[in-house]
């Protein structure tokens, strides 16, 4: 998936003579903020409709219909206006399922579609096992010790280690077969990597509109607040 | 079509550009594809280790009138979230200039010169520090400040990489050069993912 802006609202410039310059023409083609920088009387924002989203997509752009609130900015006559879009690009880490190809949140431990996850194999039992996991810590004198951390907190093992008395640091983990342990023959398990780490580029956009003493930030997405 | 934005990593002798799409841009102690080989090491007592420096840039294609003002920033918590021990000198550092854009020119036609320098060091152990007077990055190691703790470059004070402007037709921005510095009290182990965020103004 390429990092492109996803248009959920579009702008429309109303010129002093009453004519209008929309961001997207009747075919859905995008016209950037900078194509016309002459005087304007109003800048309006409207949500993208399902029909317009389809037209925009036909040009290779990304768009989603939305119910974002329409916005109207009246520009006083003769006022100097600056108006542009801001792109915010970031690469976020995700997990990718090695079986079904689903992409899912990096913090999830198993694929939400096919339930694949990192598995552990015991060569003696020749089966997949739910491992006994010991976390190995090391201190500045190169002494080692093992502690047990619940699986859900494993990714914070280094932080937990830091907070133990004695200046311990996270070193490694050891996964052992529970059945061999009971039989008095402790054995390590081999990791079978069924999900992998990957990165996804995400591009968020917003608009900056300035005139007179006013500066407006217009988001092209909805912020969910808990 | 509106713009398509991509982050590239440059490596190798010539500084070839490789998209970071579908990849994780790790810091490591080798100058190649940022996989899990040759991870960063914790140094012995009394020493400081740097990762090989990484050289990343923004690439934009598509239709636009002008792009300018390219900044990068983080959440200000790299050192604490990765247990790098900032108080003892550990952290994520970025090369900075004393004046003008902090980005590294990497294209003669676009930026006036190509100042790319391949990362080097001892593979599997440590890289040359960006600010090392002898082996450091030649575009930055002669400056007064040389490097800045990237945790200072948060959303409130992003780092200007490239003021541009770039006219229509696609471009690669100047690059940002970063390295991870570990100290003996930095913590071992894999780290939680974090993002370097790139912003730009498009007209």
pLDDT confidence of residue A71: 96
Tokens of B143: 């400056």
Q: How far is CA A145 from CA A131, A205, B84, in A?
A: 19, 49, 22
Mean predicted confidence (pLDDT) in B15-43:
89
- Distance from the A149 Cα atom to the nearest Cα atom in chain B, whole angstroms: 15
Cβ–Cβ below 8 Å for A59 and B62: no
Instruction: Tell me whether B44 touches chain A (CB under 8 Å).
Output: no
* Angstrom distance (rounded) from CA B174 to CA B126: 25
Q: How large is the average pLDDT for residues B192-201? A: 93
Cβ pair A4, A87 in contact under 8 A: no
Closest residue to B201, CB basis, from A84, A89, A170: A84
| Cβ contacts of A59 on chain B, cutoff 8 Å | 1
Please tell me the predicted confidence (pLDDT) of residue B86.
Answer: 95
- State residue B111's pLDDT score: 97
- Do residue B203 and residue A171 have CB atoms under 8 angstroms apart? no
- Residues of chain A with C-beta less than 8 angstroms from the C-beta of B45: 140
Q: Give me the number of domains chain B comprises.
A: 1
The pLDDT, as a whole number, for residue A121 is 95
Looking at residue A106, its pLDDT comes to 86
Tell me what pLDDT residue B7 has.
95
- Per CB-CB distance under 8 Å, the chain A contacts of B20 are 91, 199, 201
Q: Calculate the alpha carbon distances from A102 to A2, A61, A222, B138 in Å.
A: 17, 23, 25, 44
In this prediction, what percent of chain B has a pLDDT beyond 70?
Answer: 100
Mean pLDDT score, B144-158: 97
Domain that holds residue B181: 4-202
The verdict on a CB contact (< 8 Å) between B188 and A171 is: yes
At B178 the pLDDT is 98
Torsion of CA B186, B188, B193, B197, to 10 degrees: 30
B197 touching A (Cβ < 8 Å): yes
In this prediction, residues B110-126 reach a mean pLDDT of: 96
Sign of the C-alpha dihedral computed for residues A85, A88, A94 and A96 taken in this order: positive
- B39: pLDDT strictly greater than 70: yes
The contacts of residue B192 (CB under 8 Å, 6+ apart) are A155, B81, B82
Look over chain B and give the mean of its residue pLDDT values, rounded to a whole number: 94
Question: What is the model's pLDDT at position A225?
Answer: 63
Q: Tens digit of pLDDT per residue, chain A (226 long)?
A: 679 999 999 999 999 999 999 999 999 999 989 889 889 999 999 999 999 999 999 999 999 999 999 999 999 998 999 999 999 999 888 999 999 999 998 888 889 999 999 899 999 999 999 888 888 888 877 889 888 888 778 778 878 887 888 878 888 888 899 999 999 999 999 999 899 888 888 899 999 999 989 999 999 877 666 5
């Amino acid at each position: 998936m390429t990092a492109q802006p996803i248009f959920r609202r579009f702008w429309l410039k109303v010129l002093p003579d009453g004519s209008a310059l929309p961001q997207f023409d009747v075919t859905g083609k995008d016209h950037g903020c900078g194509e016309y920088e002459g005087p304007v009387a109003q800048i309006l924002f409207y949500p993208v409709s399902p029909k317009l989203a389809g037209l925009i997509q036909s040009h290779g752009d990304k768009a989603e219909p939305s119910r974002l609130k329409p916005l109207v900015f009246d520009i006083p006559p003769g006022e100097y206006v600056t108006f542009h879009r801001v792109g915010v690009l970031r690469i976020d880490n995700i997990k990718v399922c090695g079986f079904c190809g689903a992409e899912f949140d990096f913090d999830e431990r198993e694929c939400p579609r096919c339930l694949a996850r990192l598995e552990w194999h015991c060569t003696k039992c020749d089966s997949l096992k739910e491992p006994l996991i010991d976390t190995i810590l090391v201190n500045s004198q190169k002494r080692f010790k093992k502690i047990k951390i619940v699986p859900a907190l494993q990714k914070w093992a280094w932080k937990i280690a830091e907070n133990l008395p004695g200046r311990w640091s996270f070193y490694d983990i050891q996964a052992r077969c529970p059945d061999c342990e009971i039989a008095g023959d402790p054995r390590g398990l081999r990791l079978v990597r069924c999900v992998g780490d990957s990165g996804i580029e995400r591009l968020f956009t917003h608009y900056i509109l300035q005139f007179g003493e006013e500066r407006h930030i217009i988001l092209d997405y909805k912020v969910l607040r808990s | 079509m509106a713009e398509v934005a991509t982050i590239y990593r440059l490596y190798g002798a010539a500084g070839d550009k490789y998209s970071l799409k579908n990849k994780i841009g790790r810091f490591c102690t080798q100058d190649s594809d940022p996989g899990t080989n040759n991870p960063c090491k914790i140094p012995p007592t009394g020493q400081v280790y740097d990762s090989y420096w990484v050289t990343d840039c923004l690439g934009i294609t598509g239709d636009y009138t002008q792009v300018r003002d390219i900044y990068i920033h983080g959440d200000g918590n790299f050192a604490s979230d990765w247990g790098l021990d900032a108080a003892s000198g550990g952290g994520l550092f970025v090369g900075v200039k004393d004046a003008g854009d902090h980005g590294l020119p990497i294209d003669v036609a676009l930026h006036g010169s190509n100042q790319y320098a391949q990362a080097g060091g001892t593979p599997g152990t440590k890289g040359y520090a960006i600010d090392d007077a002898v082996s450091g990055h030649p575009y930055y190691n002669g400056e007064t400040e040389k490097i800045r703790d990237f945790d200072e470059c948060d959303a409130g004070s992003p780092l200007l990489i490239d003021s541009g402007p770039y006219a229509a037709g696609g471009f690669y921005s100047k690059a940002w050069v970063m390295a991870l510095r570990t100290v003996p009290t930095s913590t071992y182990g894999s780290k939680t993912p974090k993002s370097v965020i790139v912003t730009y103004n498009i007209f």
